[in-house]
Amino acid sequence: MSLKKSISVFMTLSVIFLGACASPATSPPPPTPSPQPPQLPRGPGAVWQLVIISDSSLWGVGEPLAERIERDTGVKVEYVDYAIGSLTAGEVLDALRTGKSPRMNLEKLPAILKDAEMVVMFLNPRDSIYFDHPLDMDQCFDSRPPVNCEPENFLEWTADLSGIWEEIIKLRGGQPTILRAVDLYNPLVQPWRDNGVFEDCTQCWENMSAAARLAAEPFNIPFLSRLDMMNGINHNEDPRLKGFILEDGEHPSVLGAQYMADLLADMGYHPVVPPGN
């Protein structure tokens, strides 16, 4: 055998030998699927508890919202209505943290929220006082220009709303929960125009809306702007002319309450997944 042929045979055998000894090729492991967030029960026999926590701006919304959820999902809905005139964020936060309250059975709210599959919330900022920048948005309810209604005047209110959302999430203990934050519509378009305060008071309402949204965002809570939906995107439409406001000029009519309920239902029923979960 020639030297050239011998070398060729040796190299061929070496390749075969090394291939036989090499570790077999392995495929990378399949990606681990992300865990699915827990879902609320659906279908016949399932029961959801809906809790409305609000001042009077959500009067009448609980019943049509419960009815709409039942139609959409097939579950039975029991609703607890804590839409109380002038109810403030400070009052609710104190009740959740202490379990005590002198007002309207708020001391029962922590126990109720433990069993709440859905919570909708808007609360009055009146007693959320940031002492360096006291809030005086009540001037606008009297169609007078506000003096202190800038973003910094809502800092304490944002903190109180955030504290309430945090308490609700703790009370639920990781159970799937539909949480929805809303702002405040403006029922006073024409009085503000008549008294020359429309620009200033509209800016005040927009600052309030931004503060409520800011409180919800860290918890991934969807936000419904009633100011956008009832007053138009430029916030200059009068909801009274749309039939959304009662004859008292301030509170939602049956039509207005139904409209708000439909807006909330149209957001869907996905439970909130707080950051880090």
Residue carrying the six token digits 């433990």: 114
Confidence check: pLDDT of 8 > 50? no
The owner of tokens 């934050």 is 181
Place of tokens 């959820």: 69
Query: What is the pLDDT, as a whole number, of residue 30?
Result: 56
Which pTM was predicted?
Answer: 0.86
- Kind plus residue range of the DSSP H or E element containing 54: strand 47-54
Confidence of residue 28 (pLDDT cuts 50, 70, 90): low
Cite the beta strand spans of 69-209 per DSSP E: 76-83, 118-122, 178-182
Token pair, residue 53, equals 């926590």
Range with lowest mean pLDDT among 130-134, 193-197, 235-239, 257-261: 130-134
The residues, ordered by sequence, that sit 6+ positions from 217 with a Cβ below 8 Å of its Cβ are 223
Interacting residues of 4 by C-beta distance below 8 A, sequence separation 6+: none
**Segment (H or E) for 209:** helix 198-216
> Looking at residue 276, what is its pLDDT?
73
For the record, the structure tokens of 88 come out as 């403030």
Q: Is the pLDDT of residue 201 over 90?
A: yes
Residue pair 182/119 in contact (Cβ under 8 Å)? The answer is no
**Band of residue 268 on the pLDDT scale cut at 50, 70, 90:** very high
**pLDDT, position 36:** 60
Q: Give the mean pLDDT of the chain.
A: 89
Give the per-residue pLDDT at 197: 98
Angle between helices 198-216 and 155-172 (to 10 degrees): 30
Residue 277 CA to residue 266 CA, distance in Å, equals 25
Q: Which residue has the higher pLDDT, 202 or 6?
A: 202
Q: Which residues contact 89 (CB under 8 A, 6 or more apart)?
A: 123, 124, 125, 127, 128, 157, 160, 161, 164
- 53, 135, 232 from 85: Cα distances, Å: 11, 19, 25
Specify whether the CB–CB gap between 212 and 161 falls below 8 A: yes
pLDDT of 126:
92
Q: Which domains does the chain have, with CATH numbers?
A: 42-266 (3.40.50.1110)
- Give CA–CA dist 271/277, Å, rounded: 12
Q: How confident is the model at residue 56 (pLDDT cuts 50, 70, 90)?
A: very high
Which pLDDT belongs to residue 13?
36
Amino acid identity of residue 211, one-letter, is A
For residue 21, what pLDDT is reported?
Answer: 42
Where residue 192 falls among pLDDT bands split at 50, 70, 90? very high
Closest CA to 181 of 219, 154, 207, 153: 219
DSSP 251: S
User: What pLDDT, on a 0 to 100 scale, did the predictor assign at position 99?
Assistant: 93
Amino acid at 195: N
Choice among 13-27, 136-150, 187-201, 226-240 with the minimum mean pLDDT? 13-27
Distance CA 93, CA 16 (A): 76
Over 90: is that where the pLDDT of 215 sits?
Answer: yes
